[in-house]
Structure 1
Amino acid sequence: MEREGVPPPPPPPPPPSSGAGATILGKYRLGRFLGQGSFAKVYEAQSLADGTTVAVKIIDKKAKTFDAAMEPLIIGEIEAMRRLKHHPNILRIHEVMATKSKIFLVVELAAGGELLSRIAGRKTMKESEARRYFQQLISALRFCHRNGVAHRDVKPQNLLLDRSGKLKVSDFGLSALPERIKNGMLHTACGTPAFTAPEILLRRNGGYDGAKADAWSCGVILHVILAGKLPFSDVNLAGMCKQIHRREINLPDSISKPARKLIFHLLDPNPNTRLSIERLAETPWFKKSLPPEPENPIFEARDCCCYYKSSDLLAVNAFDIISLSSGLDLSGLFDERRKERRFATGMTAEAAMERAREVGEGLGYRTERGKGWSVGMGKGRVVVVAAAMEVAPGLVMGELKVAEGGGEIGEAHWEELRSRLGEAGLSWINDVV
């Protein structure tokens, strides 16, 4: 379907022969190919444990288009989805897995495709139907903002539908978490120009409010689904900015007056007077036939595992960070016969190894310092090597590994090590799901 200002998305390329049918770390079997970006492919997949159908985003860290600058975006996407996983209109993340070369994001499958596909063959959407989807979008974004997350890339391509037609907000790669805010404002220019607030495009006043920027994008979305076109032409960026500044919005007469008023106030170029999402949610047009708001908890650190503070910065989940570390192969985390265990701590690598040495000696091991931040521990035929490295400011990851030819350690011994390390301030992370 071609519509003014909103070109149809290109069809996905044919599935790579090496993808479908493959098994990921013994947990998921890949199915049909769904699409791809510059360094990631998305497949439908089936859990080998319970047969449920999911989507798997495979990020290739060895792709030519992948660079170190992308890792913070991936970390941010994982962190945002973990914080927001309780809301029914936000695409749910199930699991993160990784090897040295690939990261696997296992998420809910949105079998209904993009929202715009629902109006394929029609130019616009009935106002009552548009309001129903818009209510779900606003509910999701209110939940994001109450949990300190600004999406910053709200556009039709990121609004998906599940099999029953429920809206799912996706793609949090450009989202902003509270720890990225300086003096209450965001400073990074991002997003898709046609849906991006003018204060981000023009970069004035040294910063912008992420929630107000999302409100602008909602105004563009509402205009698109009711009018069948973008409110401002994005053929020429300078011309589009002039239209925005002059507030030149041409709304069809078929749109009701209350809806026209909402669009007009959401597309206010001045963020200080723009209609906020919270105020929008109280308007009569929006509240008409509004279903009960889901009771979702505000995010707390206990909702995820292994969080650490570095000054006033809340670090990302330790499992997620180690997943993104280019020097660590996590495939052993999913092998029950593995000969290694991992831990995390907020202390320095040197201090962590000193604690590990003390634990080893307390359990009767003979210990010997190795190269860098490592300690060898031996008892009888068993030789265990402990090593640590800093993977982020204030976060050190460590590994205990049975040396080659160093015998076997039973689960009881691992449990004893886990208990003693926990007492020493080193948190076991192998049990994170």
Structure 2
Amino acid sequence: MAGTKSRSSAKAGSPLLGKYELGGLLGRGTFAKVYRARCLTGGDPVAVKVLDKPGLAAPGMAARVLREVSAMRRLRHPNVLRLHEVLATRSKVYLVMELAPGGDLLSRLASLPARRLPEHAARRVFLQLVSALIYSHARGVFHRDVKPQNVLLDADGNLKVSDFGLAALPDSLRDDGRLHTACGTPAFAAPEVLRRKAYDGAKADAWSCGVILFVLLAGHLPFDDANIADMCRKAHRREYAVPRWVSQPARRLVSRLLDPNPDTRLAVAELASHPWFKRSLSVDSQLGGLLGGQAERELAFQAPPALNAFDIISMSPGLDLSGLFGESRRTREKRFMTTASPEQTVERLGQAGARLGYFIVGKKGAERLPLGGLSGLVAMSMEMSEVSPALMLVELRLEGGDGDEAEAFGWEELRVELGDVVAAWHVCEEG
């Protein structure tokens, strides 16, 4: 791959930590630069986000990086940018991610003569965005900064939602089950977020989807004002005009998404039943093809795909940034392999909890199973992924509580209680 050696490498003129060869600069932000790179072992192209550790000392930056890594570790979806690995030196942190060589959606729209897409192409783009967000929301991740700049395109023109630095995770919710942090980009943020009210993360992302859909169809923003208060007033009054070339079903969908009342706003998960999505999808030559079929099938919740060897490696402690900020993962997270079915694993975990003093709260078979215990100060999440038809990878993680509470949790007792359900506990531990 052509390109000048980056000064961000561990040593000028040498591969990054012996694993990647950095190439040309793809972009830069206040505290980070993104480079094209090549994996030295397989030659696969990747993108490497380089962050200076002194920059992470800025207020909120370390938390933002940890949040981005935590969110991306939860998500394995064809329309979500994949995080492969996290590396660090004494002065820098490197996030190794999937490469999206097509650039961002905003740049792609700006390159078009009308700065917008034909409706059939807009439907295809929007379908992929919605599919990614339905999946993310089902995994407890709310993006909170959905905008064209954060939607990337791969070599085939498929969407990749990126930049989860402002994402909200389940532990961001307060006792009222809502979010309270005002964040995001004003032109794409929901009115309740701009007004600093408590809000539903899924409904806030739905508003942002409405703005993106309007941009895809019209070629400009529905609300565009340098004065945020004025822009918020326009949003509340629905002061926007849909161009005449937009079809009636698309107009109705925009109206349902750009509803200033979050209680009546269409949720992302409800989009599959909208008439605009029930039409057959056409092939868009500018952004690549998509096989036809019912929109409900494309929008259906997608279970985590089967893992390959690289997936398992990418879930190793190399992806854990907590040690960079003074927190150990050793007492927080364990993984094991099992040949038992998901139903058997959940049942055995419940039986073990009954004997060890915690209990399962939540629907059987759910992807995240909070476990009560330790006086309610700590909860546990569980995620299962298929390695092969006969083998599952189970990840257990303590959520909340302090270090002493995590230390007090009886991992070894749990392993003994699970018995033959655990095929290989030691494989996935640290150390």
TM-score after normalising by structure 2: 0.67
Report 1:102-181 matches (<5 A): 102-119=92-109, 120-123=111-114, 124-181=116-173
Aligned to 1:98: 88
Aligned to 1:18: 7
> How much has 1:16 moved relative to structure 2?
9.0
> How much has 1:236 moved relative to structure 2?
1.4
- May I ask how many residue pairs the two structures share in their alignment? 321
Correspondence 1:230 to 2:221: yes
Code of the aligned partner of 1:297: A
The question of whether the paired residues in 1 share the 8 Å contact of 2:5 and 2:23 is answered with no
Cα distance, 1:82–1:55 mapped onto 2, change above 3 Å: same
Code of the aligned partner of 1:152: R
- Secondary structure of 2:230's partner? helix
Aligned to 2:78: 88
Distance in 2, matches of 1:199 and 1:210, equals: 11
Distance in 2, matches of 1:298 and 1:26, equals: 31
Code of the aligned partner of 2:212: I
Question: Which of 177, 184, 187 pairs up with 1:184?
Answer: 177
The question of whether the paired residues in 1 share the 8 Å contact of 2:142 and 2:168 is answered with yes
The question of whether the paired residues in 1 share the 8 Å contact of 2:122 and 2:217 is answered with yes
Aligned to 1:42: 34
The question of whether the paired residues in 2 share the 8 Å contact of 1:39 and 1:60 is answered with yes
- Secondary structure of 1:105's partner? strand
The question of whether the paired residues in 2 share the 8 Å contact of 1:82 and 1:304 is answered with no
Distance in 2, matches of 1:317 and 1:152, equals: 27
The question of whether the paired residues in 2 share the 8 Å contact of 1:97 and 1:103 is answered with yes
Percent same amino acid among aligned pairs?
Answer: 52
- Secondary structure of 1:23's partner? coil
Cα distance, 1:317–1:193 mapped onto 2, change above 3 Å: farther
Aligned to 2:325: 325
Please list every run of 5 or more consecutive structure 1 residues that lacks an aligned counterpart in the other structure.
Answer: 1-13, 308-315, 329-341, 348-391, 397-418
- Secondary structure of 2:273's partner? coil
Aligned to 1:399: none
Report 1:204-215 matches (<5 A): 204=197, 207-215=198-206
Instruction: Write the deviation string for residues 67-100 of structure 1: whole angstroms up to 9, x where unpaired.
Output: 252111111110111100x210000111111123
The question of whether the paired residues in 1 share the 8 Å contact of 2:15 and 2:21 is answered with yes
Instruction: Write the deviation string for residues 76-127 of structure 1: whole angstroms up to 9, x where unpaired.
Output: 110111100x210000111111123211110000011112333313222100
Aligned to 2:402: 394
> How much has 1:132 moved relative to structure 2?
0.2
Code of the aligned partner of 1:109: L
- Secondary structure of 2:217's partner? helix
The question of whether the paired residues in 2 share the 8 Å contact of 1:138 and 1:281 is answered with no
Cα distance, 1:217–1:317 mapped onto 2, change above 3 Å: farther
The question of whether the paired residues in 2 share the 8 Å contact of 1:58 and 1:103 is answered with yes
Instruction: Write the deviation string for residues 305-357 of structure 1: whole angstroms up to 9, x where unpaired.
Output: 999xxxxxxxx97952444237x9xxxxxxxxxxxxx982259xxxxxxxxxx
Code of the aligned partner of 1:144: S
Question: Which of 297, 303, 309 pairs up with 2:303?
Answer: 297
The question of whether the paired residues in 1 share the 8 Å contact of 2:53 and 2:91 is answered with yes
Code of the aligned partner of 2:302: N
Instruction: Write the deviation string for residues 376-430 of structure 1: whole angstroms up to 9, x where unpaired.
Output: xxxxxxxxxxxxxxxx95348xxxxxxxxxxxxxxxxxxxxxx9xx99xxx9899
Correspondence 1:285 to 2:287: no
Correspondence 1:69 to 2:77: no
Distance in 2, matches of 1:264 and 1:343, equals: 46
> How much has 1:177 moved relative to structure 2?
0.5
> How much has 1:18 moved relative to structure 2?
2.0
Question: Which of 18, 21, 25 pairs up with 1:29?
Answer: 21
Instruction: Write the deviation string for residues 161-216 of structure 1: whole angstroms up to 9, x where unpaired.
Output: 00010011000000000111112101111000000000000023xx1000000000
Which one is further off, 38-47 or 283-292?
283-292
Cα distance, 1:175–1:49 mapped onto 2, change above 3 Å: same
Distance in 2, matches of 1:79 and 1:31, equals: 27
Cα distance, 1:216–1:231 mapped onto 2, change above 3 Å: same
Cα distance, 1:298–1:319 mapped onto 2, change above 3 Å: closer
Cα distance, 1:212–1:99 mapped onto 2, change above 3 Å: same
> How much has 1:298 moved relative to structure 2?
5.7
Q: Which has the higher helix share?
A: 2
Aligned to 1:203: 196
> How much has 1:158 moved relative to structure 2?
0.3
Cα distance, 1:268–1:43 mapped onto 2, change above 3 Å: same
The question of whether the paired residues in 2 share the 8 Å contact of 1:249 and 1:264 is answered with no
Distance in 1, matches of 2:104 and 2:332, equals: 42
User: RMSD over aligned Cα, in angstroms?
Assistant: 3.4
Distance in 2, matches of 1:40 and 1:306, equals: 22
The question of whether the paired residues in 2 share the 8 Å contact of 1:113 and 1:160 is answered with yes
Distance in 1, matches of 2:59 and 2:430, equals: 25
The question of whether the paired residues in 2 share the 8 Å contact of 1:306 and 1:344 is answered with no
Code of the aligned partner of 2:244: D
Distance in 1, matches of 2:98 and 2:129, equals: 17
